[in-house]
């Protein structure tokens, strides 16, 4: 595994999130970053949020638009050229069945209704479909996580079942679409014998044309809550997550090259957490997330993504 390209690279602190948040919908739209829904904690009680916030990099400020009609977190998310699409997720009690989109108006619009829902699934858009991997049908039933893989047609809402993920289950892993393939890294599964979550190091890609899974080199360690963002047509940034109960959260980061199949260690995140990562222009932004149990961060940073690339 190669090393980072720019040891002097530093994350730049920007205006913090208006409130601590994790598990939110996050994307870039019309030159802004959108944060919708999510969770935080107050007085040892988990709060489920409805706010939609927009970050303007020109003014380094956040503004609030019309809120979601219902609290929502842990949805499957993907972005196309016009909008961010997000499906299902939870309000803490019930699993949503809706597919929504947020376009340049910065407001959420209901698009379709699903027959069944999912929480903590991976998501990504290729062509006109939102691909959704794994998750559970109930936020409070982690033992029901699956390896189901499906595509939601964004024209008519039709759901197509695709070949199952070649691992026992997948939730809170990293998912990204890059170069016409859907990639999945890490995540967790339910260990029935131990009655606990077991982290995964496995990685696979799904070829959308051939509809086949391909096994990739595993991550350097097992981790759940890791986040992925495609930074160009053949490289994916992978960072953060929860490694185990001894080490807990991590700030480690890697560039995965989809052509070579290799990971390169890069500049770590500015803090240890399960974060949101989003690319906008020349920058990758690192936002909020779970930085310790029963706690959320309002931190916000950015870095030029080219500074993260491996040395030639």
* Across 54-62, average pLDDT: 98
User: How many domains does the chain divide into?
Assistant: 1
Closest Cα partner for 132 from 76, 208, 73, 207?
76
Residues ≥6 apart with Cβ < 8 Å to 259? 234
pTM above 0.85, yes or no: yes
Instruction: Look at strands 262-266 and 253-257 and give their pairing.
Output: antiparallel
Q: Is 165 within the bounds of a domain?
A: yes
Per-chain mean pLDDT for the chain = 96
Spatial contact of 150 and 132, defined as CB atoms under 8 Å apart: yes
Spatial contact of 137 and 173, defined as CB atoms under 8 Å apart: no
pLDDT band at residue 310 using 50, 70 and 90 as cut-offs: confident
How far apart, in whole angstroms, are the C-alpha atoms of residue 242 and residue 32? 29
Q: pLDDT value at position 8?
A: 61
Q: Is 1 within the bounds of a domain?
A: no
Q: pLDDT value at position 1?
A: 54
pLDDT digits (tens, 9 = 90+) for 71-115: 999 999 999 999 999 999 999 999 999 999 999 999 999 999 999
Q: Is 103 within the bounds of a domain?
A: yes
Spatial contact of 86 and 53, defined as CB atoms under 8 Å apart: no
How far apart, in whole angstroms, are the C-alpha atoms of residue 212 and residue 161? 13
Q: The domain spanning residue 261 has which CATH number?
A: 2.120.10.80
- Of the chain, the percentage scoring pLDDT greater than 90 comes to 96
Residue 192 CB burial class (10 angstroms; 0-12, 13-18, ≥19):
exposed
Cβ contacts of 212-216, under 8 Å, gap ≥ 24: 212/163, 213/163, 213/165, 213/166, 215/166, 216/183, 216/261
Q: Is 98 within the bounds of a domain?
A: yes
How far is CA 81 from each of CA 84, 106, 165, rounded to the nearest angstrom? 8, 14, 27
Q: Which domain holds residue 234?
A: 12-308
pLDDT digits (tens, 9 = 90+) for 184-239: 999 999 999 999 999 999 999 999 999 999 999 999 999 999 999 999 999 999 99
Spatial contact of 29 and 57, defined as CB atoms under 8 Å apart: no
Q: Is 256 within the bounds of a domain?
A: yes
Q: Is 3 within the bounds of a domain?
A: no
pLDDT digits (tens, 9 = 90+) for 136-181: 999 999 999 999 999 999 999 999 999 999 999 999 999 999 999 9
How many whole angstroms from its chain centre is CA 228? 6
Q: Is 257 within the bounds of a domain?
A: yes
Q: Is 7 within the bounds of a domain?
A: no
| Three-state DSSP state, 142 | helix
């Amino acid at each position: 595994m190669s090393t980072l390209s720019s040891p002097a690279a530093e994350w730049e602190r920007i205006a913090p999130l208006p409130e601590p948040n994790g598990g939110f919908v996050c994307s870039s739209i019309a030159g802004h970053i959108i944060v919708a829904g999510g969770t935080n904690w107050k007085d040892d009680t988990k709060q489920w949020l409805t706010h939609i916030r927009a970050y303007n990099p020109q003014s380094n400020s956040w503004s609030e638009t019309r809120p979601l009609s219902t609290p929502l977190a842990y949805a499957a998310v993907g972005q196309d050229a016009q909008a961010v699409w997000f499906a299902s997720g939870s309000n803490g009690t019930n699993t949503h069945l809706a597919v929504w989109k947020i376009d340049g108006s910065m407001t959420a619009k209901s698009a379709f209704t699903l027959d069944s829902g999912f929480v903590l699934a991976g998501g990504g858009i290729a062509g006109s479909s939102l691909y959704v991997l794994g998750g559970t049908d109930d936020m409070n039933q982690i033992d029901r996580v699956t390896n189901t893989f499906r595509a939601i047609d964004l024209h008519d809402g039709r759901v197509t079942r695709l070949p199952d993920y070649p691992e026992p289950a997948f939730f809170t892993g990293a998912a990204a679409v890059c170069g016409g393939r859907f990639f999945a890294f890490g995540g967790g599964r339910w260990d029935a014998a131990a009655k606990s979550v077991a982290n995964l190091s496995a990685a696979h890609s799904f070829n959308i044309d051939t509809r086949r899974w391909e096994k990739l080199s595993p991550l350097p360690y097992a981790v759940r809550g890791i986040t992925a963002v495609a930074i160009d047509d053949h490289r994916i940034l992978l960072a953060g997550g929860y490694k185990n109960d001894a080490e807990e959260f991590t700030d480690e980061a890697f560039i995965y090259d989809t052509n070579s199949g290799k990971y390169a260690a890069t500049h770590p995140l500015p803090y240890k957490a399960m974060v949101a990562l989003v690319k906008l222009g020349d920058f990758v932004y690192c936002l909020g997330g779970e930085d310790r149990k029963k706690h959320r961060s309002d931190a916000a940073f950015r870095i030029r993504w080219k500074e993260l690339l491996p040395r030639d």
